[in-house]
A and B are shown apart, each in its own frame.
Chain A
Amino acid sequence: MSLSATTAPPPPAAPPRPPAARRSRSHKLTRLDLKYSPYLYIAPFFLVFGVFGLYPMLRTAWMSLHDWNLIGDHSFIGFDNYTRLVTDEYFWNATLNTFGIFLLSTVPQLLIALFLANLLNRTFLRARTLFRMAIFMPNVVSVAAVAIVFGMLFQRDFGVINWVLGLVGVNPVDWDAERWSSWTAVASMVNWRWTGYNTLILLAGMQAIPRDLYEAAELDGAGQWTQFWRITLPMLTPTFVFVVILSTIGGLQLFTEPLVFANGNIIGGDQREFQTLAMYMYELGIENLNTAGYGAAVAWAMFLMIALVSLVNFLLVRRTVK
């Protein structure tokens, strides 16, 4: 690196300057550079985020207080959109679906991830990189592709899952026709795509636990299970909170899997059996542009739910693991 070669030769037209003045000028430039250039470097982020991130979020709040048509007029109506939400059957249906799918995907997923991470954490495991990569691989597939492939696996007449169930004597299930079955199918897509990711995060947390803790416990005669409950889980709390909150933010915004599973039908099943909150918001704000204000209220309701559930999870996980 030739750092001393940074000062460019002066342009030929510039009149020669006395050395003193020149030094003070470059000194001034350096001071300006030191003081203001940091702002120049962070400016691109804040500019783009401000315009396309922060502003729309705030505008969602403003919109939600209006009867708003995205390509037309709007009028102020105060909190009417929010009072309407309270009695909106479709809104509560979507809330129920979202939380149902969320539980069916998050709980088994995190338990399996915890189990797999514990296995991958063995010292003398062979082919560890191979296992890690294989388990993580579903995460690189797009959600749309996952939904297409799983939609076929769950197909009623010749899907592989019904065929396997048939082997053990279960009648073919019409997966997208009922609430519980569609929840299961959608949740299984989420589980398949995210279990490996969470396994690796939990594994990283486990590897940060000092090994001498286990050695001490072993000398005291603690068995593997005791060690898992008394050392691994408590030490893993921060990582676990992180994983739970990430899953909450993702899980409560679920959109693509149920939409593609419903073949693009934004109401998710003929009787809205698996329409999620994100789909309902999309239906109100973008599919029907003239109810955008009401859709904005749904967006804020979703945001509050995510914040609330994250907080509850945070407190709960903290508490139980202690």
Chain B
Amino acid sequence: MTSASRRLWRTSPLTYVALVLATLLSIYPFYYMVVIATRSLDSINDVPPPVTPGGSFGDNVGRVLDNDAANFLTGLLNSVIVSTVVTLSVVITGSLAGFAFAKLRFRGRNILLLSIVVTMMIPTQLGLIPLWGMIQDLNWYDTLYAVTVPFLVSAFGVFMMRQYATQAVSDELIEAGRVDGASTFRIYWNIVLPALRPAAAVLGLLTFMETWNSFLWPYAVLTPENPTLQVSLAFLSYAYYTDYSQVFAATAIGTVPLVIVFVLFGRQIIGGIMEGAVKS
């Protein structure tokens, strides 16, 4: 690198000061959550506010588990089920359709792909009210079908897989498969799917997090009897807003799995998001 560009990209101490400050602001609410979740209720009123974790986490979790107004455990289990099913389905249907759009020739391909891109720009809340009515008609209100079935496919998933498949799967390899007499599905299964694995992993992580965190729709069609985790948290916080340490213990339990996933796979998630941004 030339000396000019070396000077240009220098990092002054101020850069680090700003970045460390941003890091602290990002982390502080997590830390605060842990502090309150591990404190007994009466120390919440302390002035100045508590800054170190306490030893009451077990107590607080116990109150969460005994609380039958929000069915926290049911919510946790439901969230695991729904997020897993939705993630698997979005990755499979996304890779199938993405492969077709990237590598197969068929009539109407371009217009159909364009329609998928357009749907990504439509705000999801537009169909909320009629969809709620449909769920009633199907007798799916307060069941996991209501929060799973409508989300089994994702336009973003198809588009992302298509973008990746275009460059990651070589046409020669597919041709070679055809010459060997492999069916299209065989080609998908043996050649395309293995090549799509990195993108599938990122799509899976993003979908899992999104489903785990989604709120408005589950809130509209589920009750505290059979909630997802987020719905359970909301009802807990409405009903027990004076028992902060209980609410925060539940919030921490609901957040920790995602933080662990993020610490393990953060690099890939960030890489996927940044790559997607440049390509689209």
Contact = CB atoms under 8 A, between A and B. Distances in A.
B127 A122 contact: no
A273 B237 CA distance: 21
A101 interface: no
Interface string B160-204: 000000000000000011001111111010110000000000000
The B contact surface, by secondary structure, is helix
Q: Categorize the interface residue count of chain B.
A: 35 or more
B149 A1 contact: no
Interface in A142-196: 142-146, 148-153, 157-160, 163, 192, 196
B208 to A, nearest CB: 10
Given A140-B262, A145-B255, A45 B278 contact: no
B278 to A, nearest CB: 5
Of B101, B125, B183, which is in contact with the most chain A CB atoms at under 10 Å from its CB? B125
B126 A163 contact: no
A3 B180 contact: yes
A14 interface: no
B51 to A, nearest CB: 9
A4 B23 contact: no
Contact of A148 (B2, B182, B237): B237
Interface in B240-278: 241, 244, 247-248, 251, 254-255, 258-259, 261-263, 266-267, 269-270, 273-275, 277-278
Contacts of A296: 129-130
A159 B109 CA distance: 56
A143 B212 CA distance: 11
Contacts of A201: 273-274, 277
A299 B129 contact: yes
Contacts of A282: 128, 216, 220
A-B pairs, top 4 by smallest CB distance, nearest first, are A56-B127, A123-B9, A52-B150, A285-B129
20 contacts: A26-B181, A33-B184, A39-B106, A41-B104, A56-B128, A57-B122, A71-B133, A123-B1, A126-B16, A134-B22, A136-B266, A140-B258, A142-B213, A142-B215, A142-B229, A142-B258, A158-B49, A214-B8, A263-B237, A299-B128
